[in-house]
């Protein structure tokens, strides 16, 4: 994808984060896009609403894509756009599904009060994945529209 496409898809992910915020959820949103540039999954954080600690925006968007595709696999060349760098749990899902590219806005360290397992996020997990044979390497692009994501985070009551 080019810079213009990346920015457009990131704006969709940020719209999902705003929808989460409006619903009283933590402001995290994600969009799954196939290699042709078609949106195949959308989602935002639903942890509180679903009483499901795994219902992070990325996981919700991936589940949406898999349902739409009626498959347990994502197409080759899929890109995940997310309003915040994926946590370690989401990194495992990304690696297991072989998503080759992730674009994120805010950094995991930007999340107020975040408890980061092994003090890691996707940016620390990707080099490990990339060094393993048989795993799909993960290319990262971070900080795209970061300030917009930070504004959503600042509007949420993290208490």
- Choosing from 18, 58, 76, 85, the catalytic residue is 58
Tally of CB atoms within 10 A around 143: 14
> Which residues, 6+ apart, have CB-to-CB distance to 90 below 8 Å?
56, 58, 59, 122
End-to-end CA distance of the chain: 38
- Strand 101-106 relative to strand 79-84, pairing: parallel
State how far the alpha carbon of 144 is from the alpha carbons of 85, 108, 121, 123, in Å.
11, 13, 17, 14
76 assigned to active site:
no
Beta strands in 2-98 (DSSP E): 29-33, 39-44, 79-84
Active site residues: 58
């Amino acid at each position: 994808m080019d810079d213009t496409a990346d920015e457009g898809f990131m704006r969709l992910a940020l719209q999902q984060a705003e929808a989460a915020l409006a619903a009283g959820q933590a402001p995290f949103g994600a969009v799954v896009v196939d290699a042709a540039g078609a949106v195949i999954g959308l989602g935002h954080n639903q942890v509180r609403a679903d009483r499901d600690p795994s219902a992070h925006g990325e996981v919700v968007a991936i589940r949406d894509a898999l349902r739409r595709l009626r498959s347990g696999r994502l197409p080759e060349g899929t890109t995940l756009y997310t309003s915040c760098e994926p946590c370690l749990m989401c990194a495992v899902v990304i690696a297991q599904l072989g998503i080759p590219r992730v674009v994120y806005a805010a950094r995991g360290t930007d999340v107020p009060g975040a408890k980061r397992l092994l003090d890691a996020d996707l940016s620390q997990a990707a080099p490990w994945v990339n060094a393993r044979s048989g795993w799909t390497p993960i290319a990262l692009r971070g900080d795209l529209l970061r300030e917009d994501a930070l504004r959503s985070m600042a509007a949420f009551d993290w208490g």
